[in-house]
Amino acid sequence: MRRSKVKPAQSMLDKMLGEASWLMSHAEALADYGRNEEAAAELARAAACEEQVASWLDVAERDQEAVLHRVSAAACYEKLGQYARAVTLLRAALSTPVAAEYRRKIEEQLSRCLTRASREMRRAPLPKTRGPIAVAV
């Protein structure tokens, strides 16, 4: 009984890993062809898929692979100019022990994204002040 429960979960995870990979390579192909808007849309889908895959790998206790996919999602968000999201993912990736050289690379990526995120924050328009809330009496 137990075996039949594990198999579908593994196969679902495998399917999602395959999907993330396909989206990533498709985004790259679209960029190669200069179809930048479509490439960005596909890259956003790839990023979301990689994030989800990372969470499932956490559940499956495949921590090192989860880090890899979180960093991959962060790289997509960085490419899309969504630096704050990349920062969150990179910080999460760094919470797992990884090889020193890889950690250094993630830290470099994090520092680059932090710089860009704070630049982006300074440029962003101030949020509109909330108006009075109408209360029904």
Partner 1 sequence: MKTFEWAIEDIVAAHPDLYLEHCAVMAVVLMSQQSASPCDFVVEIDGVASPRLADANKFLLRVSWNANTFLNAQRMTSTEQRKPIAERAAVALAALLFAHLIPAGRMRVTRAGDRADYWLPHSQCALEVSGTENFREFARRHKEKIAQVLSNPLRWNGYVIVCCFDKTQRLIRWSYHQQESK
d(CA 120, CA 16): 32
76 forms part of the interface with partner 1 (CB under 8 A): yes
AA letter at 55:
S
Q: Which is nearer to partner 1, 77 or 122 (CB)?
A: 77
Instruction: Give the whole-angstrom CA distance, residue 14 versus residue 9.
Output: 9
State the nearest-atom distance from the C-beta of 126 to partner 1, in Å: 32
Q: Is 81 in the site for partner 1 (CB under 8 A)?
A: no
Q: Please say which residue, 7 or 105, places its beta carbon nearer to partner 1.
A: 105
* Nearest CA-CA partner of 43 in 60, 58, 23: 23
Q: Which two structure tokens, joined as six digits, stand for 55?
A: 């969470």
Cβ closer to partner 1: 84 or 98? 98
Decide if residue 88 touches partner 1 (CB under 8 A).
no
Q: Are the beta carbons of 87 and 110 closer than 8 angstroms?
A: yes
Q: Which two tokens stand for residue 113?
A: 């994204």
Rule CB under 8 A: say whether 75 interacts with partner 1. yes
Q: Which residues are at the interface with partner 1 (CB under 8 A)? A: 17-22, 24-26, 28-29, 32-34, 50, 64-65, 67-69, 71-72, 75-76, 78-79, 98-99, 101-102, 105, 109
